Amino acid sequence: MVREADDGGISGFIRIRKGATLPRHRHIAAEETYMIQGRMDLGDGRIAQAGDYLLMNTSSF
């Protein structure tokens, strides 16, 4: 599910399978994440888990 806002922002809901990995990538805009369930290794020593809010700034990895 993805929704584009009039100002160019995008909202979406994604499901990532247990054990899946995402390629390292640069954020071209700020990215907000709210973890609903599970845990995710962010690759920088942090672990996100259910209930966490994450903000990835523009140009961050």
Please write the tens of the pLDDT for every residue from 13-45.
888 899 998 888 888 888 888 999 999 998 889
Residue 24 has what DSSP assignment?
-
pTM, rounded to two decimals: 0.70
Structure-token pair, residue 51:
């209930």
Look at the block and give the residue holding tokens 């009039």.
6
Mean pLDDT of the 5-11 span: 79
Identify the three-state secondary structure at position 40: strand
Q: Which amino acid is at 38?
A: G
